Amino acid sequence: MDDGPEWGHATEFGDIAGQVAIVGIGETAYTRASGRSAREIGAEAAERAITDCGLAPGDIDGLTYSAAFADFDVAAFHDHFGTSHEMWSSPWGGGMSWAGTAPYLAAKAIERGDARHVLNVFPVAWASQRGGMTGGPGEVHASQSLKQNLEVPFGWFPQPVYFATIMRRHMIEFGTKPEHFGAVAVAARWNANRNPDAVMHGKKMDLDDYAAAPMLAEPLRLFDSCLISDGGAAYVTASLDRARDLPHPPVVVQGVGEGISGSGQHWSQQRPFTSTPQVFSAPLAFTMAGLTPRDVDVLAVYDPFTVVTIMQIEDMGFCRKGEGGPFVEEVSLWWNGEGLPCNTHGGLLSHAYVLGIAHVVELVKQLRETASAQVYDCEVGVYGGYTGMHASTLVLTVDR
Amino acid sequence: MAITRADFPLPDVSDDLVAGYFFGAAAGEVRIPRCSACDRWCWYPEAACPGCGGELVWTATTGRATLFSWAVVWRAFLPAFADIVPFVTALVALEEEPSIRLVTMIIDVSSESLVADMPVEAVFRPLRFPTVPDREVIVPMFRPIEAVS
Ligand SMILES: [Zn+2]
């Protein structure tokens, strides 16, 4: 089978290294079902991010949010803050892969003079919505007719089942073992245990607990799978010059990349079944930043399932393809493991399922040295975003 | 975007894009769209050949494939599957064009005896769900070729 480079491509991004910085972050509580709407959650995250950078709502003149989950758009912003000023906006921000590329959109808007302070916001209320099939990850997929007709009838649905087959194929091709997946889950929990904001903060888990948990879709166990949560976060991007006038030390955007798979929304047909479009995204982001995976002090990868952490670690170049299993076992992902600290907030697996926005916020905290699970001497942080079809890479550094 | 179709999760055989797959199954064949101009197999179905724009024609295959990957589903994620867990859902790579993976169920065999890349063949069985009474759709399922005596 031809797994050649034509199975996907990278988006062409201009070099924005050092142009902009993240200057403010805001988070809501991360919970199981809260009864709150995504719009309320988004407003709270936005308010906290704006306060964090010492600005007022009227200073925010750019907004990026999610096209797919447009719960907090310009109208919602004005409605919440009682403002009415002109705002540049783009629906190609928010969470998932786009949590990593929103700073690029902000940099370009700032470069054109369309905005000075750009807010990226992403709220999730899936824990509250899951009851009535009125939202949530499953429905999005079931609503596509090809999936409905050619996948769902055969029980290949929802995401835990897709990723169970991806795990199985990773095991077949590379010899990856259950304890490798377990190492990812245990590391995420260890990190979450250090973070009072994590949903799984007080719940310890070791490899025995992992192995004793029920199979959802063999070989995928309960703790290979992410949580379902309510919560949201936001961050504000400004030019580096502007950032240096604001209260917090700037967290500088040094590299951005985006990779897109040619198989569209259909995981089942993706040429290399055990790879992510991170293959296309990460090299460009590292090149833009003038850095390599070896330079990374803290990593945050979109981790809906343990196999996705392993695949992204491989595809971003932290190890060779297929060696991600032994890598995560031998090179600790623990915040204090002196290996490759990864998802130090707990990730989607053990922090909250807020689709990557909290991953980027965690990196900002790490680079400000204000994280709960603070990595020693942390200067370079990288986010790996993922949706299946898309991947993104965001390289952040301290201001130097 | 809520799904209101009463026969979900049965496939919608009135959907023109996929109807040929289920008509094929009812006739005892795995049929896949193939371009009448450039002979390329196209999966998933599209309106026209993604290579040359030619007309796609539902074309019979051997129904043989290899077992690309599978999962033993223990949790009924949809109520319709509650009575059949555990079952084996799988991706099989088509003999004619292994880059084409069909989503299917593996039947007539214990999940412990499944081996990566083993040869499998289509069998055509009615898909029924207790949540959709009095309806069935004949679909291609697969079983290991060795299991046939
Ligand atoms: Zn053609």
Q: What is the ipTM of this complex?
A: 0.97
Task: Give the model confidence (pLDDT) of A280-315 as tens digits.
Answer: 999 999 999 999 999 999 999 999 999 999 999 999
Q: Does A166 touch chain B (CB under 8 A)?
A: yes
| Interatomic CA distance for residues A323 and A330, integer angstroms | 11
* C-alpha gyration radius of chain B: 16
Tokens of B48: 């026209």
pLDDT surpasses 50 at A133: no
pLDDT surpasses 80 at A105: yes
Where does the pLDDT of residue A128 fall: very low under 50, low under 70, confident under 90, or very high at 90 and above? confident
Where does the pLDDT of residue A142 fall: very low under 50, low under 70, confident under 90, or very high at 90 and above? low
Task: Give the model confidence (pLDDT) of A341-359 as tens digits.
Answer: 999 999 999 999 999 999 9
Average pLDDT, chain A: 94
| Interatomic CA distance for residues A92 and A302, integer angstroms | 17
Find, among A303, A339, A300, A349, the residue nearest to A193 by Cα. A349
pLDDT surpasses 80 at A365: yes
Where does the pLDDT of residue A140 fall: very low under 50, low under 70, confident under 90, or very high at 90 and above? low
Amino acid at A7: W
Q: What residues of chain A lie within 8 A of the CB of B8, using their CB?
A: 142, 148, 152
pLDDT surpasses 70 at A131: no
Task: Give the model confidence (pLDDT) of B58-97 as tens digits.
Answer: 999 999 999 999 999 999 999 999 999 999 999 999 999 9
Is A353 an annotated catalytic residue? yes
Would you say A297 and A383 are in contact if contact means Cβ atoms under 8 Å apart? no
Would you say A345 and A198 are in contact if contact means Cβ atoms under 8 Å apart? yes
Is A210 an annotated catalytic residue? no
- Tell me what percent of the residues of chain A surpass a pLDDT of 90: 88
User: Exposed, middle or buried by CB within 10 Å (0-12, 13-18, 19+), for A303?
Assistant: buried
SS3 of residue A140 by DSSP: helix
| Interatomic CA distance for residues A315 and A265, integer angstroms | 19
Q: Does A266 touch chain B (CB under 8 A)?
A: yes
pLDDT surpasses 50 at A134: no
Where does the pLDDT of residue A139 fall: very low under 50, low under 70, confident under 90, or very high at 90 and above? low
Mutation for testing the B interface, residue in A143, A144, A150 having most B CBs under 10 Å: A150
Token pair 């949706």 is found at A387
Instruction: Lowest mean pLDDT of A30-39, A128-137, A180-189, A198-207, name the range.
Output: A128-137
| Interatomic CA distance for residues A383 and A245, integer angstroms | 26
Segments making up each domain of chain A, as ranges:
20-129+229-243
Would you say B3 and B129 are in contact if contact means Cβ atoms under 8 Å apart? no
Model confidence, pTM: 0.95
Please identify which of the residues A65, A162, A235, A302 carries the catalytic annotation.
A302
Where does the pLDDT of residue A278 fall: very low under 50, low under 70, confident under 90, or very high at 90 and above? very high
Find, among A227, A230, A246, the residue nearest to A238 by Cα. A246
Token pair 């999940």 is found at B111
Tokens of A280: 């296309």
- pLDDT value at position B146? 74
Would you say A106 and A120 are in contact if contact means Cβ atoms under 8 Å apart? yes
pLDDT surpasses 90 at B145: yes
Q: What is the torsion angle, in degrees rounded to the nearest 10, for the CA atoms of residue A158, residue A164, residue A170 and residue A175?
A: 180
B31-35 vs B56-60, strand pairing mode: antiparallel
Fold of A20-129+229-243: Peroxisomal Thiolase; Chain A, domain 1 (3.40.47)
How would you label B74-92 residue by residue, b for 16+ Cβ within 10 Å and e otherwise? ebebbebbeeeeebbbbbb
Higher pLDDT, A264 or A336: A336
B87-94 vs B101-106, strand pairing mode: antiparallel
pLDDT surpasses 80 at A114: yes
Question: Is A156 within 8 Å of B103 when comparing Cβ atoms?
Answer: yes
The pLDDT of A38-56, averaged and rounded, is: 97
